[in-house]
Chain A
Amino acid sequence: MSAGVSVRDLRFAYPAGRDRAPAVLDGVSFEVAAGERVAVLGPNGAGKTTLMLQLNGILSPTSGSVSIGGTVVSRETVREIRRRVGLVFQDPDDQLFMPTVGEDVAFGPANFGIGGDELDARVASALERVGLEDAASRPPQHLSLGQRRRAAIATILSMDVEVVVLDEPTSNLDPSARRELSATLGALPATVLVVTHDLPYALELCPRALVLDGGRIVADGPTRELLADAGFMAAHGLELPWGFDPLNAPDRR
């Protein structure tokens, strides 16, 4: 199952003291269709993480709106929204806080009132989808970083979410862990938004990309075309790794 994401003229500033805080998001609008995979690119401080926290109501907009599958995110709908939108945070140690991986995968659905056999079935299937069938009873600190990141994704899958938002999923992963992660993400039926600095990964996984800079969307289009536009990339502080040519990179296997 998947749902579309619609963000309309979203503005947000973190509360500050006497000085007026600058807007972190300054009129962001975009639409993502159900089942689409979209990369959110942008330099550090562009507002990517703030945008991510808006998508399931952890932060609320100063003005403008976010809606998921037609439901506007608000104080009344926040619970339903959190069941439908899963966030995968950058550091899996922030997400995996229970003593064992299995209990952590059960945490989300249990919060939404699922228990008994159905809960067990969801935990088993979520762990199987990320290739960690045997890890249910292991403490998270005994897993490798790549395994922990996949376990963090399983904690979202068990909630049967319709939208998955990942913050820097490839940071600090070695190439084989990266490949396993992209197999996991590529097979998700949900709408996927990937917030990342890893441009080759964005190209591999997401046909479409949004570029956020200074709190605004400065580009929205096919990932390959955006990455190939050297002038645009330089203007927004995005750099490709040395030797990487987006026009000659193969399509996803």
Chain B
Amino acid sequence: MAGSAWRHRPGDSLLHRASPRGKLIALVVFAAVVVATPREWLAAFAVYAVVVIGMLAVARIPLATVLRRMAIEVPFLVFAVLLPFIATGPRTDVGPLSLSIEGLWGAWGLLVKATLAVLASVVLVSTTEPRRIVLALESLRLPRQLTSIMAFMLRYLDVIVGETARMRTARESRGFVARGPRSWGVLAKGLSASFVRSHARGERVHLAMLARGYSDGAP
């Protein structure tokens, strides 16, 4: 089901009804402003945070959903935590640790900017049907190849997820248990089988499109 793979939350708040194009432009502008704000302007970041959290509240997005979607930020978090240890310059002592002041500021800047941008994106994807986001991108003159790729992804995501789930069920019903590195080989083969199948499906879809008069490059 499309809903389950994408987790768009249908609703009827002001933000759900706003034009996808407007929301998309607002998101890009917001992210640019956040990134361009000097990291020392603490008050500005407080204002941004209030705005984003306010929007999340208006759209009534549950906290659990927000946190789950923020998982994409984890690699940045790891890097932010490392920064105070690896950066150079004057250092300060916090308990037993000696931290770089420049690194601390760097970590703060990275963290607050990434978090605000991710939160704003969560607002967009939670209040807008994925298909409308693609249409909005198209109306903003994004190259057709890119929007087509996105539209195909939306259409076939569920087919591929379903196929992968059936393959897993079939593996498990023959006694396979995914545990520890010894099962990685099997999982990798399953993944490559999914890849080959998706590729073959792509070719069949292309044939079916050609059969209905599609020609590459034409609108």
Which residues does A use to contact B, with CB under 8 Å?
53, 56, 58, 79, 82-83, 86-87, 89, 91, 93-95, 97-99, 107-108, 111-112, 139-142, 155-156, 159
Contact A82 B208 (CB under 8 A): no
Closest to B131 in A: A99
Which residue of chain B has the shortest Cβ distance to A82 in the bound complex? B213
Known: A58-B207, A58-B211, A99-B131. 18 other contacts (CB 8 A): A53-B207, A56-B211, A58-B210, A86-B212, A89-B207, A93-B156, A94-B204, A94-B207, A97-B152, A97-B156, A98-B151, A99-B151, A107-B209, A107-B214, A108-B213, A139-B2, A156-B212, A159-B213
Check B155 for interface membership: any CB of A closer than 8 A.
yes
**B86 at the A interface (CB under 8 A):** no
Question: CA separation between A99 and B135, bound complex, in Å?
Answer: 11
Name the A residues within 8 Å of B61 (CB-CB).
none
Interface residues on B, range: 20 to 34
Q: Is the CB of B213 within 8 A of A79?
A: yes
Which of A82, A93, A98 contacts B211 (CB under 8 A)? A82
Q: Are B207 and A111 in contact (CB under 8 A)?
A: no
Binding site for A on B (CB under 8 A): 1-2, 131, 151-152, 154-156, 158-159, 201, 204-205, 207-215, 218
Q: Is the CB of B208 within 8 A of A87?
A: yes
A-B CB contact pairs (8 Å), 8 listed: A82-B211, A87-B211, A89-B204, A93-B159, A99-B131, A111-B214, A141-B158, A142-B1
B residues near A139, Cβ cutoff 8 Å? 2, 155
What distance in Å separates the Cβ of A115 from its nearest Cβ neighbour in chain B? 11
A97 vs B205: C-alpha distance when bound (angstroms): 7
Contacts of B212 in A (CB 8 A): 82, 86, 107-108, 111, 155-156, 159
Q: Are B2 and A93 in contact, with the CB atoms below 8 A? A: no
Chain B nearest CB, measured from A21 CB (Å): 18
Which of A97, A139, A142 counts the most B-chain CB atoms under 10 A from its CB?
Answer: A97
Q: Which of B158, B210, B213 contacts A112 (CB 8 A)?
A: B213
CA distance A119 to B209 in the complex (A): 18
Q: A91-B204, A94-B204, A142-B1 are in contact. Are A99 and B211 (CB under 8 A)?
A: no
Q: Which residue of A lies closest to B212 (CB)?
A: A108
A87 to B213 alpha-carbon distance, docked (Å): 11
In the complex, which residues of chain B have a beta carbon less than 8 angstroms from the beta carbon of A141? 1-2, 155, 158-159
Q: B130: nearest residue on chain A (CB-CB)? A: A99
Residues in A neighbouring B205, C-beta threshold 8 A: 94-95, 97
> How far, in angstroms, from A79 to B1 measured CA to CA in the complex?
36
B216 → chain A closest CB, angstroms: 12
Task: Please measure, in the bound complex, the distance between the C-alpha atom of A239 and the C-alpha atom of B32, giving whole angstroms.
Answer: 68
